[in-house]
Amino acid sequence: MMENIDAVKNIRLFLFDMDGTLYIGNRLFDFTKELLERIRESGSRYLFMTNNSSKSVDDYVKKLKGLGIDADREDFITSSQATALYLKENRPNDRLYVCGTQSLKKELCGEGFTITESIEDTDCIVMGFDTELNFKKLEDVCKILLTKNVGYIATNPDLVCPTEYGSVPDCGSVCEMIYNATKMRPIVIGKPQPEMPLIAMKKYGVDKAETAVIGDRIYTDIKSGIAAGALSILVMSGECDRQTLVSSDVKPDLVIDSAKEILDILKS
Ligand SMILES: [Mg+2]
């Protein structure tokens, strides 16, 4: 059953998708600054939640500053952080072969993991959105999967990443290339899995009944919110159109034109 927008009044932790929800490309929505300020003033918390594992948190802080939003490292939950936490809980002593950017390697290294480029030494493969991908890495991943019994994890399932001129292949597409060669698929951590919202709730000690996930993609943002038991709010200011919403099996708890409606409720 669809919730009423008043449900937003009970929320203490707002987990925002960024592109399509708070801005589009390099254009900040006109309500975004006020919305974030309002949430903070009310004593609630917001976090930016992103599947993109090619950028480090510092890159995102810079991007938001450029758009006029004052953010710091603590304001983010990324699929790289969620992957690091997953690995800590499930494969704490693994040596990792990372098919990802230097920035992802740095993040995992910072969490205490040993990064290796040796096929022999690898205990687990981590696939990210690798904007530094080359054939050697693809070959190594296949060789490891086909000759060893190792863990196989991916930061995010996205097939493509939007750019100003259209889309480029993301982590999910590279994993499909690997699947074609090895018939193996990784455990995927980012949205639509519930890991990011769950980690955020745990970190701030907020119950799922007081948590909302807000985003413009049903198959990632909304799915992860529902899977985590949070209030899922679809905004129609980004990728999703009416036709996609109507034909989707996944039903958000709330559908709003844009996150401005959250601001309006918080002000009322
Ligand atoms: Mg989005």
Q: Say if residues 123 and 94 touch (Cβ distance below 8 Å).
A: yes
Confidence check: pLDDT of 18 > 60 = yes
- 202 Cα: distance to centroid of ligand 1 (angstroms): 23
- 52 Cα: distance to centroid of ligand 1 (angstroms): 11
Residue 51 φ/ψ region, left for φ over 0, alpha for ψ in the -120 to 50 degree band, beta for the rest: alpha
Distance between CA atoms of residues 131 and 104, nearest Å: 11
Q: What is the mean pLDDT of residues 34-48?
A: 97
Distance between CA atoms of residues 13 and 31, nearest Å: 19
pLDDT band at 263 (very low <50, low <70, confident <90, very high): very high
- 140 Cα: distance to centroid of ligand 1 (angstroms): 32
Question: What's the pLDDT at 162?
Answer: 73
- 239 Cα: distance to centroid of ligand 1 (angstroms): 7
- Per residue in 83-99, pLDDT (tens digit) is 998 999 899 999 999 99
- 17 Cα: distance to centroid of ligand 1 (angstroms): 5
Q: What angle do CA 79, 248, 229 make, to 5 degrees?
A: 50
- 136 Cα: distance to centroid of ligand 1 (angstroms): 32
Confidence check: pLDDT of 81 > 90 = no
Q: SS3 string of 5-51? A: HHHHHHCCEEEECCECCCEECCEECCCHHHHHHHHHHCCCEEEEEEC
- 126 Cα: distance to centroid of ligand 1 (angstroms): 23
Q: What is the mean pLDDT of residues 170-194?
A: 96
- 92 Cα: distance to centroid of ligand 1 (angstroms): 31
- 187 Cα: distance to centroid of ligand 1 (angstroms): 22
Q: Domain 5-51+191-267 belongs to what topology?
A: Rossmann fold (3.40.50)
pLDDT band at 227 (very low <50, low <70, confident <90, very high): very high
- 20 Cα: distance to centroid of ligand 1 (angstroms): 4
CATH of 92-188, one of 3.40.50.1220, 3.30.70.20, 3.40.50.1000, 3.30.1370.110: 3.40.50.1000
Record the pTM.
Answer: 0.83
Residues bordering ligand 1, an ion, CB closer than 5 Å: 17, 19-20, 216
**Average confidence score pLDDT of the chain:** 94
Question: What's the pLDDT at 165?
Answer: 85
H or E segment to which residue 121 belongs = none
- Per residue in 112-159, pLDDT (tens digit) is 999 999 999 999 999 999 999 999 999 999 999 999 999 999 999 989
- 229 Cα: distance to centroid of ligand 1 (angstroms): 20
Q: CATH 3.40.50.1000 spans which residues of the chain?
A: 5-51+191-267, 92-188
Q: Using a pLDDT cut of 90, give the percent of the chain over it.
A: 81
H or E segment to which residue 226 belongs = helix 223-227
- 149 Cα: distance to centroid of ligand 1 (angstroms): 35
